[in-house]
Every structure is written in structure tokens, then in C-alpha cells.
Amino acid sequence: MIVKTAVITGFGINADRELEKAFSLAGSDAVRIHIQDFIESTALIQNYHILAFPGGFSFGDHLGSGLVFAHLFRKNLKTELEKFINSGKLIIGICNGFQVLVKTGVLPNFNGDWTPEVSLIHNNAGVFENSWLKVSFNKNSKCIWTKDLDEMDIPIRHGEGRFVTLSDTILEKIEKENLVAVRYFDRNPNGSVNNIAGITDTTGRIFGLMPHPEAFIYPENHPRWTSEKITEGEGVKIFRNGINYIKENF
């Protein structure tokens, strides 16, 4: 079957072409769709199997990272997005896309009413982080995107990546239910609680993370690709997991 992915773009988004390419390399028919197109034709969302929210600085992050983008979805597309999620389809948000998902409230969404329960705030160091690091994946996580993954070198580039929760109770629930899908392994670049780099929802189908797997889709992307004889852009594995899930379940 043809797995259709919509990479949602808009003002200030700058990683949409990378993300479109990543899904294409992994085997999906991926296209970039402006958020305004979805607002003008809300049912358009249902034409796709996967919704992908890219990185960037949506609307300049002037009111907070991802906040305006999240508001547009809550105001205009909540009904269609809930229908999309309830149909068993997939969502991924990377960096600014992760910020959009948590501020929209669809992740982790324990209460089921889109109340934001976690957030991503300014890095502890107060500076923009742009570097490569190692992450580890939680083998007990429900996340279908990280299935069979162990560790990965991956780049980060963010100024507001510090993962926090509304309360200790929410953090305990996230940990207890194995919703942490990926953690910073060798160093914590932003002060995220419990080294959390990405989480999933209770279904395992909605995934948000701060690192950029779409920026490691060719061996040459890695800064040590020659010395370490890297033969594959490992970030592709995440997107391939999502595509395979759709093929197996639709």
C-alpha cells in the first residue's frame, strides 16, 4: 500500500523539506501541506496516514515556542485531529513540532481533553544548543516509532528544549506507564527532567522528541562518518517504523 504522510508547514518552519525527504527515503509518499490549507479544508487531514510536525521557529516563537501553531490547531482543527487520532493513525512532532504537540495538549493527554500537562521551556544554560549527542531508547516503551531501537547518535538544535511537567504526579505517571520513549544518554543538553528527550502517548502512536532524526538520513550527515565507517543514516529507522506500522495495520 501507499503510505501517505503530510508534513505540516507554515510561517517560520524550516525543517519541513528535511522531514519530507526523510519520510520519502523511508518509503512514504510524503508531501508538504501548509497549515492554512488544513484550516481552509479541515477534512483534508483524513486523506493521510501520518501527520508530521517539523522543526523550526513557527511564527517566530514570539509568544513561546510552538504556542501560536498549537493555538491554530486547537481552535480550527481539534475535531478533525481527534477523528484522525481515534482512527488509529500516527503523529510525530520533532523539536518545534514536539513543542506544538505538548502545547496543543495532544501529548500526553492523560485527561483526554487536550489540557497541556507538560512543556518545553528555555534550556538551563540559557543558550541555543546545536550539537550531536547520543540518545537511548526505552525498550519497554509503547512507542511504535522507536520499536527495536537501542542507541543513536543524533543532532539537536534548540533553545527551548527543557522538558518539564505540570506536577510530580504527571511525571510519575509518564515514567510508570513507560511513556518516555527516548532519553539523553551521554549528556543532558538542556536540563530536561529525568533526561527526557521524547515521549509518546498511551497508545504509542503519537511521538514527540527534541532531537532531529530527519537530520541523520545519510551517512554523510554524521560528523564522524568516515572515521567510524557509518553506512546508514540511522534516523531513517524511526520513520521506517512508522511506515511499517501503517502497512501492517491499514
Q: How far is CA 17 from the centre of its chain?
A: 15
Cα separation, 27 vs 25, in Å, equals 5
Burial class (CB in 10 A: 0-12, 13-18, 19+), 71: middle
Cell of 112: 483526554
* Contacts with 42 (C-beta within 8 Å, 6 or more apart), sequence order: 76, 77, 79, 80
Place of cell 496516514: 49
Which one of 49, 117, 143, 212 is the catalytic residue? 212
Cell of 115: 489540557
Which one of 18, 20, 49, 95 is the catalytic residue? 95
Instruction: Tell me phi and psi for residue 109, to 5 degrees.
Output: 60, 50
Alpha helices in the chain (DSSP H): 16-26, 35-40, 67-76, 78-86, 96-104, 168-176, 236-249
Active site residue 62: no
Active site residue 143: no
Which one of 20, 160, 214, 234 is the catalytic residue? 214
DSSP strands (E only) in 138-216: 151-158, 162-165, 180-184, 196-200, 206-209
Active site residue 212: yes
Q: Identify residue 223 by its one-letter amino acid code.
A: P
Cα separation, 240 vs 243, in Å, equals 5
Phi-psi region of 66 (alpha: psi -120 to 50; beta: other; left: phi over 0): left
- Catalytic residue numbers, as ranges: 95, 212, 214
